[in-house]
Structure 1
Amino acid sequence: MFRLPVLLLLLVCLGASPCYGFLAKAHKRQPTASSPSVPEYWFEQRLNHFSGADTRVWQQRYFMNDTYRQSGGPVFLMIGGEGPANPAWMTSGAWLTYAEKLGALCLMLEHRFYGKSHPTQDISTDNLHYLSSQQALADIAHFQTVMKEKLGLADSKWVVFGGSYPGSLSAWYRMKYPHLAHMAVASSAPVKVQVNFSEYLEVVQLALSLNHSDCPEAIKMASEEVSKLLVLSSFQKLTDDFRLCELLQINSWMDTAYLLDTLAENIMNVVQYNKDNREFEGVKDTSITIQVVCDIMANKSLGTPYYRYANVIRTILEVNGEKCMDASYKKFIQDMRNITWASVSLGGRQWMYQTCTEFGFFQSTDSAAQPFSGIPLSYHVQQCSDIFGPEYNLSMVTDSVQQTNEYYGGLDIKGSRIIFPNGLIDPWHRLGINADLSGDLIAIQMEGAAHCANMYPARLEDPPSVPSARQYIFQLLTKWLNT
């Protein structure tokens, strides 16, 4: 089974959606739902916005819902992220509730190099040089400028929405193009980029301990036992216990780290999306919650922590309808080196390139306050080198991340009319805005909520903080659209 890089779980919310999530599992198990009744539209986009001499163009996909549009009403633009744009968001989601009340036209623009938006013939490293957040923001600006005239929207105020990486894009778009975007809703947005994001697993540990105080310790013991079995070359046992797709082969320390990372990602994914409402997108594993994981890890009748950990992994596989788990680093690298569009529809290679050249976001075990082991920063950086070449090393990644923070400002946001909702069990909130910066740079903290929780359709099971956040967002939309 094809497996994408760990950091893909990092930021998605709308999955093939406006809220991805930067962990490999988020893309491996991305939403499968679709809305055939929602037509696709195509926009002629520039390949390189920063060279007037470059006249090359390509076709960018977008979607439109004009059901609620009223004359003179606002335009809501959902920004796509590191995966295919999911048309399910054109028929459901909190933003459509706002649109109905405010008479908004709704558009969703797919991110360049993801989904069906193919700017180049392939995704060779040379072509990926045109994949960057700055080019993506310029795509949005050009799209908005043309669509304003094409659809007669000269007097309409534009509001940009996004979750996770697209959440950051929405904040950055409002900052960099204030003459185009009237306001932004930047959900679960990691606006500070960071090479070694070891805090991610610290939040995972805290979230796990909320249900069972000894849950993180049990997982830690299990992870350490896996490491011991690797040293003892107990490959058949590990293969059988964790239902690996083929007999485990360890030829380097990267093979070892990749297995430990693959197992850990399953738990990371559960925490990041705990009790969310992604069913309408076709996500299968929403029934696997922190409570389910920790109940299994606390069940001593299942054996040692190691066997309970294996039980958790098998349970997740079964819920997702997966017969086995791929844990071959060699195969992973081969997949990530494939430059054809047909093999990379989920966006793994593209997102890996962005993390190696702009963001970092590497979720390492370098902190002592987390439950896993054997996934150091050097493992993540080595992936950059193995996929794109030796020049993509720690020095290059560090310099690139520093440049990104210098360009956008990191946590030192300057601007106005931006809302930053964050769920407090979502590890990504550690790189976001968690306190008001001014009267119109507003942070909304959602106790007990996960990644992009405020973006999904409302339901009775939502933590009380989520409907409160949605109501506050609507109040600010109403207020700021009248300014």
Structure 2
Amino acid sequence: MAAFYMYFVFFASIVLCNGFAFRNGRYRGGFLQPPRHEHKGSLPPDQWFQQQLDHFNPQETRTWQQRYFTNGTFYKPGGPIFLQIGGEGTADPIWMVTGAWTTYAQEYNALMFQVEHRYYGKSHPVSDLSTPNMKYLTSEQALEDLANFITTTSAKMNLTGSKWITFGGSYPGSLATWMRMKYPHLIHAAVASSAPLVAVADFSDYLRVVKESLDTTGPMCVPSIQKATDALTNLLDTDTGRQQLKSTFKLCDDIDPRNKNDIANLVSSLAGNFEGVVQYNRDNRAFEGGVGANITVDTLCAFMNDSSKTPLENYARVSSFMLETYSQKCLDYKFSNVIDDLSNTSWAGSAAEGGRQWTYQTCTEFGYYQTSAYDQQPFGDFFPLLFWTQQCYEAFGLSIDDNVLNNGIRFTNANYGGLGVKVSRIIWPNGSIDPWHALSITKDISEDATAIFINGTAHCANMYPESDDDLPALKQARLVIREKIGLWLNQ
């Protein structure tokens, strides 16, 4: 479970090999996790589309091959075209045969495409991930990739005049929104699930929603975490205390009290156990028996509420439980290990699964850093904004004075409009448990730009396959989305 939680921002994504970890709010392989679905038939094969390296410089003539998938099983001539947008991880063809959108495609006789995001998965526009080569990794270039794919494919397959609907969850939900806004002549409508639309450096609201979500289990969980954090803080002050923490929390290394980044990474890792489970709580990703299938907010708070042990012991039990669940022998919290991983510029490196790329996008476009600045959360104040922005400098050599980040955030919000986005024929589903709803649209903008706030559900829950155990509000949300699609197709 190596050095992973360092980016607990919008990238819950750094799983070491077969492990579990969070970085910038994303699991490695993408913030929108593929449904763990046991599909016995064949999956759509890789297909390749020639893209421009730089859509904004006509003198740049280099091209590259972008991966995509097609499913025409349900298509009837004249039907709509559904486009699922890839995000900050490998595009998974399992989405082509399962998930809510396949149900909609069957009902409305849609042709389905999934396009992998540039720089992720097998879509490699450049020879390596060195910092100079990362300049073509932007949301704007990704949107142009999609526009080029749509226009070229429409002409090639005689789809001109067909109605395209974009689907996306999390960052791809943002892209789905922005495609509808920027290319209304190409995109007829959009379903943008759990889509953060505001770029922000200090995303302290993330832990606010985590705290509120933990509170739904009862009055004991959050105070118990706070007591554990207080005890941990006291133990960090002495050699004996630090040795106790190493043993109790199964740390891979001794704690160096002089290394503030290590300590910040340690505490954010322990917070990450709760952040990750909250974010994906009961999202219906896992098939029966899948790794981590049954870990919920209630599971972790049951540990914390055990009055037979001290809060610190319960906090350590949560950590050990997560380590064991994901087959990790010890908790690697070393900041230097995170930086070493992120600094690997090879496509063969572990960070190339998405960690290095998404971190670059957070440093240059979005921020989304899940800091400890919210003073009522129970995880301490160990990981402020500077802890996260320093990683931009260490991994990419970007300015640590925040100019690059702040300039990028200002441009992103001015370019796309933030929560003031002007768009029609779109719906934004969000879950009340999901911390990312704090950066999304949760109330209707107009009659034709609407929101569904799904009480009790987590990140992108509406996108996953239906289950008999789904909350009534989640079942209703899928019905509303289906009806909206039908309404849009008649407009």
Q: Same fold (TM over 0.5)?
A: yes
The alignment status of 1:239 with 2:252, answered yes or no, reads no
Query: How many angstroms apart in 2 are the aligned matches of 1:364 and 1:99?
Result: 40
Alignment of structure 1 residues 285-434 onto 2, 5 Å: 285-301=292-308, 303-343=309-349, 344-373=351-380, 374-434=382-442
Percent of aligned pairs sharing the same letter? 45
Partner Cα distance (1:481, 1:248) in 2: 59
8 Å CA contact 1:384, 1:393 repeated in 2: no
Determine if contact 1:33/1:282 at 8 Å carries over to the other structure. Answer: no
Aligned in 2, Cα 1:31/1:434: closer, same or farther, shift over 3 Å? closer
Is residue 11–residue 25 contact of structure 2 (8 Å, CA) maintained in 1? no
Aligned to 1:255: 262
Trace 1:210-249 onto structure 2 (pairs within 5 A).
Answer: 210-233=216-239, 234-249=241-256
The equivalent residue for 2:161 is 155
Give the partner amino acid of 1:362.
Y
Distance 1:361-1:114 versus aligned 2 partners, 3 A rule: same
* Residue 418 of structure 1, CA deviation: 1.0
Deviation of 1:470 (Å) = 0.5
**In 1, Cα distance between the equivalents of 2:94 and 2:304?**
35
CA distance in 2, matches of 1:408, 1:283: 38
Distance in 2 separating the partners of 1:40 and 1:142:
18
Query: 1:155: Cα distance to partner?
Result: 2.5
Q: Partners in 1 of 2:145 and 2:287 — Cα distance? A: 28
1:438 deviates by 0.5
* Separation in 2, partners of 1:178, 1:73: 19
CA drift at 1:54: 0.5
Return the alpha-carbon distance in structure 2 between the equivalents of residues 317 and 9 of structure 1.
Answer: 20
Find 1:78's aligned residue among 84, 102, 105: 84
Q: Is the 8 A contact 2:8 2:369 kept in 1?
A: no
Rounded Cα–Cα distance in structure 2 between residues aligned with 1:181 and 1:168? 14
- Partner in structure 2 of residue 448 of structure 1: 456
1:316-350 deviation digits (Å, cap 9, x = unpaired) = 22222333222111111111111001013421011
Q: What's the TM-score once normalised by structure 2's chain length?
A: 0.92
Checking the alignment, whether the CA contact within 8 Å between 1:6 and 1:25 is kept in structure 2 is no
- Report the 3-state secondary structure (helix = DSSP H, G, I; strand = E; otherwise coil) of the residue aligned with 1:444: strand
Unaligned runs of 5+ in 1: none
- What SS class does the counterpart of residue 370 from structure 1 fall into? coil
Root-mean-square deviation (CA, aligned residues, Å) is: 2.2
Query: Residue in 1 aligned with 2:278?
Result: 271
**Secondary structure of the structure 1 residue equivalent to 2:465:** coil
Which of 65, 70, 73 in structure 1 is aligned with 2:71?
A: 65
Contact 1:94 1:457 in 2 (8 A): yes
Question: Partner amino acid for 2:419?
Answer: L
Corresponding pairs, count = 477
The correspondence of residues 26-41 of structure 1 with structure 2, limited to 5 A, is 26-27=27-28, 37-41=43-47
Q: C-alpha distance in 1, partners of 2:490/2:86?
A: 27
**Aligned residue type for 2:294:** S
Deviations 1:64-109 (A, max 9, x none): 1111011110010000111111111111100000000000011100
CA distance in 1, matches of 2:69, 2:6: 29
Q: Distance in 2 between matches of 1:353 and 1:41?
A: 27
Q: 1:52 aligns with which of 48, 51, 58?
A: 58
Task: Give the deviation of 1:244 after TM superposition.
Answer: 2.5
Q: Which runs of 5+ in 2 are unaligned?
A: 16-20
Task: String of CA shifts for 1:260-304, please: whole Å, max 9, x gaps.
Answer: 111111110000001111125996213111101111100011x21
Name which of 451, 458, 470 aligns with 1:462: 470
1:3–1:28 Cα contact (<8 Å) kept:
no
Contact 2:63–2:125 (Cα < 8 Å) also in 1: yes
* TM-score normalised by length of structure 1: 0.94
Residues 4 and 27 of structure 1 are in contact (CA less than 8 Å); yes or no, is this contact kept in structure 2?
Answer: no
Q: For 2:257 and 2:470, how far apart are their aligned partners in 1?
A: 43
State the 1:4 CA deviation: 4.1
Structure 2 CA distance for partners of 1:390 and 1:474, relative to 1, 3 Å: closer
**Is residue 168–residue 175 contact of structure 2 (8 Å, CA) maintained in 1?**
yes
Judged with a 3 Å threshold, the aligned counterparts in structure 2 of structure 1 residues 12 and 471 are, in CA distance, closer, same or farther, namely farther
> SS in structure 1 opposite 2:353?
coil
Distance in structure 1 (CA, Å) of the matches to 2:290 and 2:226: 28
In structure 2, do the counterparts of structure 1 residues 130 and 113 end up closer, same or farther at CA, with 3 Å as the change threshold?
Answer: same
Q: Tell me, yes or no, if the aligned pair for 1:420 and 1:434 is still in contact at 8 Å.
A: yes
The answer to whether the 8 A contact 1:385-1:393 is kept is: no
- Secondary structure of the residue aligned to 1:27 is coil
